[in-house]
Amino acid sequence: MIRNTRAVVWCVLSLGLIVNPMVEEVSAAQQGFLAKRMSRVLTPKGVNTPESQAQSCPDPSAYLLVDQQVAQTVHPQQSEQEEHSGQGLPAEAKPSGPVGVAPEHKKEVLPSWMVRTFDLPGAGVLTPKGTLIVEPSLQFAHLSSNRVTLTGFTIVPAITIGLINIQGVSRDIYTASLVGRYGITNRLEVEVRVPYLYREDSITQRPVATPSQADTLSTFNGSGLGDVETTGRYQINQGGPDKPYFIAFTRFKSTSGTGPFEVPQDPVTGVQTELPTGSGFYIVQPGLTVLFPSDPVVFFGGASFIYNIPRDVGSGIGRVDPGSGGNANIGLGLSLNEKLSVTLGYDHTIFSKPTSASNLLLTTAPQATHIGVLLIGGSYRWSDRSFVNFVVGVGATREAPDLQVTLRIPTAFSLWK
């Protein structure tokens, strides 16, 4: 029995030693067979591949390399063209532009540095040569004042004997303007402004210390073409980042609007029955503006002299000098991003007392009139050639407008390419 068991074990071991080499040979044969099949499918005729690829299961990346070699062998010129042009790549892998070259940006017809948020005579860097800027604008201004007139005698500061007249004036002015600026050279530009005005005044009078205690309300209005203005600006120096720009300008205002001495008046009271749309006097205003850019802030300031040219107005009044004065402004502009910027500033104007040859008018005017306005504005890029500017002005002195709101939309056009 034991002998039979030993015989069976030896038979099994001998059979295993014989079968194992056969299995290894079959596996190797199968791998070689698979390698030959893949080489027949992936490799065209006439191309010699390394012998090591036929002995083991091939790596797919090796066949990709073989495909490239085949393509260069069969179509060498086409492969070189596709390599340079990118036509052989899928649509998703094709570059949108030349490799290593930055894409071209669309040129801005109206750059941010050229936009003037505030409507001041000397504000802003000049318009480039051959560029025309058309700027429609709308402005609303409201003025109000209360005045007490005493006609009598004051015995002590708290007691007045006579008549007291309380007068309130409310004035609204609506102005629509069309402005055109053109760059003659990169350092010289001209500007023309054509305004159209509508004015309405409401005067409330209430006499005190008289039998009548009722208020008297009078309303007057007027509309028409305003005073057309023209301005020339010249940039003195080159300027640049962290370097100031000096800009000289001269503004001239005509008398195209209806003057205060040309409107009809009530023959009894002498009160104007229609409001004027112009000042009635020519104005020449030379000045200088300084701009200092310090990214992302631009500081600006300017000063000018306002000369009102006297003239004879007739009507028994004679020669009238409306008074000359000066103007100064200061502020800064801050860029928040590529499209939005804000501007803060203050503008102050001083006029001397008006005088007349007959001394019949303007005797109650102060020796000097101060008009101070605090300006807060913003600018938003609408397109590559247009901006939207919005400015709010708040009066800082008694003679200044209580509120002034301005909306301007400058748009640039390149006349010469």
Tokens 């004027």 belong to 276
For residues 271 and 265, what is the distance between their CA atoms, to the nearest angstrom? 5
> Looking at residue 297, what is its pLDDT?
87
> Looking at residue 153, what is its pLDDT?
47
Residue 249 has pLDDT above 90, yes or no: yes
> Looking at residue 59, what is its pLDDT?
47
pLDDT bucket at 167, cuts 50 / 70 / 90: low
214-223, 230-239, 268-277: segment of lowest average pLDDT: 268-277
pLDDT bucket at 409, cuts 50 / 70 / 90: very high
For residues 203 and 212, what is the distance between their CA atoms, to the nearest angstrom? 17
pLDDT bucket at 262, cuts 50 / 70 / 90: confident
State both tokens at 293: 């850019």
User: Do 190 and 230 meet the contact criterion of CB atoms below 8 Å apart?
Assistant: yes
Q: What average pLDDT does the structure give for the chain?
A: 74
What is the pLDDT averaged over residues 162-186?
Answer: 83
> Looking at residue 177, what is its pLDDT?
96
> Looking at residue 144, what is its pLDDT?
85
Percent with pLDDT over 70 in the chain: 60
> Looking at residue 11, what is its pLDDT?
54
Q: What tens digit of pLDDT does each residue of 88-97 get? A: 445 445 555 5
User: Do 315 and 348 meet the contact criterion of CB atoms below 8 Å apart?
Assistant: no
List beta partners, residue 356: 320
Candidates 373, 167, 372, 177; CA nearest to 271 is 167
Q: Helices (H), strands (E): how many in the chain?
A: 3, 17
> Looking at residue 126, what is its pLDDT?
84
Percent with pLDDT over 90 in the chain: 33
For residues 81 and 71, what is the distance between their CA atoms, to the nearest angstrom? 12
Q: What tens digit of pLDDT does each residue of 8-66 get? A: 555 555 555 444 555 454 444 445 544 444 444 444 444 444 444 444 444 444 433 33
30-34, 132-136, 231-235: segment of lowest average pLDDT: 30-34
CA angle 232, 237, 242 (to 5 degrees): 120
Q: Which residues contact 259 (CB under 8 A, 6 or more apart)?
A: 276, 278, 279, 280, 281, 313
State both tokens at 359: 């001394």
State whether residue 256 is helix, strand or coil. coil
pLDDT bucket at 267, cuts 50 / 70 / 90: confident
> Looking at residue 266, what is its pLDDT?
72
> Looking at residue 342, what is its pLDDT?
92
Q: What tens digit of pLDDT does each residue of 176-200 get? A: 999 999 999 989 999 999 999 999 9
Tokens 């009507």 belong to 315
Reported in sequence order, the residue ranges of 245-385 that DSSP labels E, i.e. its strands, are 245-253, 283-294, 297-308, 311-312, 319-321, 325-335, 340-352, 355-356, 368-381
Q: What tens digit of pLDDT does each residue of 332-371 get? A: 988 888 889 999 999 999 998 888 777 665 555 667 889 9
145-154, 208-217, 264-273: segment of lowest average pLDDT: 145-154
State whether residue 403 is helix, strand or coil. strand
Beta strands across the sheet bearing 311-312:
311-312, 319-321, 355-356
For residues 417 and 412, what is the distance between their CA atoms, to the nearest angstrom? 13
> Looking at residue 211, what is its pLDDT?
55
What is the pLDDT averaged over residues 99-118?
Answer: 55
